[in-house]
Structure 1
Amino acid sequence: MRLSSLYRFPMKSAIGEPLLRAELDGLGLVGDRRWMLVDAENGRFLTQRAFSRMSQLSARWNPAGGLTLASQGLPALDVPLPEPDANLRGVFVWGSSMVVPDAGDEAAEWLSDFLGKACRLVHVPDHRARDIPGSLLPEEKVGFADGFPLLLIGQASLDDLSRRVGRSLEMLRFRPNLVVEGSEPYAEDGWKRIRIGGIEFSVAKGCSRCILTTIDPATGERSADREPLTTLKTYREREGEVYFGQNLINRSGGVLEVGMEVEVLE
């Protein structure tokens, strides 16, 4: 088995960027889901679940830690990394509350125009990350990802799902960080620990899927037949949740490169 694809999502629910090489830190891939849009009034996080237009928003991370925003019909905007302890704003991600720096009025105005809703852009510095839900280890942290630092999907699992649906599905519908080639369909369901390029990962839990998977990442349009969620429910549902992919926690920093061997340790 090998690592066949790497993806980073600098802003939660915006367009992902494919990578050939990525560094890992205590929150997963460096630069992944460190930025987020929130409702300007109440600080609640905003995603494609309610605003499918976010699927057309490019938010590229740069080595200085800032963000470049772009979308068709709008001029690009470079957003500098905000001071980690200034202009703090209370925000909410699912059941977690956080206090993080706001990226300023210019970014907020650009994004509010884009989305058609008053919103603010926020960033999470390392020391303001939240605890992983259910974790008893204080060193286990996550930024703005739903619950865990990383998401892995086997390419064979997507191929099997595409066959069942009857059309080819894009991997980016499922927004993984790591894609593994050479395993059997859904083999990742049974893994507990893996190693890639000398870095060990714990497999935390399956990833429950939602309406976001029905949004075409190229157009932002929802599938009229609610695929692939409709098909997933026929064979991947348990206790009212539909699962596809596995959440991971990296146990060290390091570097990942496409092509690296993937080894199942447990």
Structure 2
Amino acid sequence: MAMSVLDRGSPAALFAAVAAGAAMKYAAGFMFPKQKKEEYRYVGKVGSIWVYPFKSFKGVNVQNADCTSVGIQWRSFGDRQWAVSTADGVYLTQRQVPKMALIEPVLDGDNIMLKAPGMEPISLQADPPVTDSNISKVTVKADTIRSVDMGDAVADWLCRYFDRTGLRLHYSAPNLEKRDASNAKKLWQNPAKPGDMLALADNCGYMVVSNASLADLNTRLETPVPITNFRANIIVDDCSAFAEDSWSSIRIGDVQLRALDACTRCIFVTVDQSKGVKDKNEEPLKTLKTYRLRDPYGPKPCFGVNFTMDKCGHVKVGDPIYATVS
């Protein structure tokens, strides 16, 4: 029987075999390109966790929390799920009313107690039902969404505390629509994807910053500021200053968060959270502007990073943090 060219092991046959194999590998690679595997590495640990249930009120420092699709959650306190508005439904913050910083929410079973200097505490439902009689609307940034109006009693309490008229308290109930971060109009390209949701926070569901970044800032200030000036949710220990700027994705246990963009800072950070007044020298904003301006963010300095949820789960203080680095 005649032997094939390959059977004879001729140089031509071997070359043909190698060439054919290479061609097949090329074709397979073209049709099914390899996905670059993301490499996560240890970058720090959770130093503290903060929930800010009421927009611009005092935060709640907790030891553990759930990370949901719209923000961090501790018991009945979901991050930025309540907001005060003017009579026309537009949200208020410490930018306009610094003394909002002095109102303290306290979880009391199925109720929330609000405490403020010079005021008798007031109690309200932590999760009131949505009815035809209490449905309202609130505008945060460019978004107007449905909300629960928390009623006349707390509205009157807020008006007396702030010495203003027409104020209302809104609640973004779980079964009401949320805001999509991808709809935000920014001076730079918005990196959020459709489905990156949030309740009543300004721009994102999560904010991350490190204690090392705060320590670096405080070495430059005549009067140091606390981490609460920046109202972040996850405070990181065991990393270098501004290391968080380079984290494109982080994992904490089962939780996975994706970085969106830097958190650009405004006059809000000058409010003394223990006194409810703005710093007369506009610190620490003035100092941040001397060394934390970054492209493409324009004239506002960067401090902390906005994140969104990719995978829900539970976090606690001391958990190791792993990140992909851009």
Do the two structures share a fold, i.e. TM-score over 0.5? Answer: yes
Identity of aligned residues (%): 29
In structure 2, the residue matched to 1:145 is 201
Structure 1 residue 63: Cα displacement: 6.0
Matches within 5 A, 1:41-52: 42-52=88-98
In structure 1, the residue matched to 2:66 is 23
In structure 1, the residue matched to 2:299 is 240
- Aligned CA distance change for structure 1 residues 265 and 215 (closer, same or farther; 3 Å): same
Structure 1 residue 62: Cα displacement: 5.3
Counterpart amino acid of residue 17 in structure 1: V
Q: 1:203, 1:174 → 2: CA distance?
A: 17
Matches within 5 A, 1:103-252: 103-118=150-165, 119-126=167-174, 127-134=176-183, 135-137=192-194, 139-238=195-294, 239-252=298-311
Counterpart amino acid of residue 59 in structure 1: P
- Aligned CA distance change for structure 1 residues 128 and 63 (closer, same or farther; 3 Å): farther
In structure 2, the residue matched to 1:32 is 79
Structure 1 residue 85: Cα displacement: 4.4
Q: 2:108, 2:171 → 1: CA distance?
A: 14
- Aligned CA distance change for structure 1 residues 218 and 107 (closer, same or farther; 3 Å): same
Structure 1 residue 61: Cα displacement: 4.4
The question of 1:5 aligning with 2:48 is answered: yes
8 Å CA contact retained: 1:56, 1:219: yes
After superposition, the C-alpha distances for 1:159-203 in whole angstroms (9 at most, x for unaligned) are 000001233210000001010011111111111001112211101
Q: 1:263, 1:242 → 2: CA distance?
A: 26
Q: 2:57, 2:208 → 1: CA distance?
A: 18
Structure 1 residue 71: Cα displacement: 1.0
Counterpart amino acid of residue 38 in structure 1: S
In structure 2, the residue matched to 1:75 is 120
Counterpart amino acid of residue 128 in structure 1: E
Q: 1:102, 1:150 → 2: CA distance?
A: 25
Counterpart amino acid of residue 204 in structure 2: F
Normalising by structure 2, we get a TM-score of 0.77
Q: 1:233, 1:175 → 2: CA distance?
A: 19
8 Å CA contact retained: 1:151, 1:248: yes
Counterpart amino acid of residue 178 in structure 2: A
8 Å CA contact retained: 2:256, 2:312: no
8 Å CA contact retained: 1:10, 1:60: no
After superposition, the C-alpha distances for 1:129-178 in whole angstroms (9 at most, x for unaligned) are 111144442x3210010010111111100000000123321000000101
- Higher Rg of the two aligned structures: 2
SS in structure 1 at match of 2:85: strand
In structure 2, the residue matched to 1:90 is 137
Q: 2:258, 2:205 → 1: CA distance?
A: 11
Structure 1: state its 5+ residue gaps.
Answer: none
Q: 1:52, 1:73 → 2: CA distance?
A: 16
The question of 1:59 aligning with 2:105 is answered: yes
Stretch of structure 1 that moved more, 24-33 or 207-216: 24-33
Counterpart amino acid of residue 124 in structure 1: S
Normalising by structure 1, we get a TM-score of 0.94
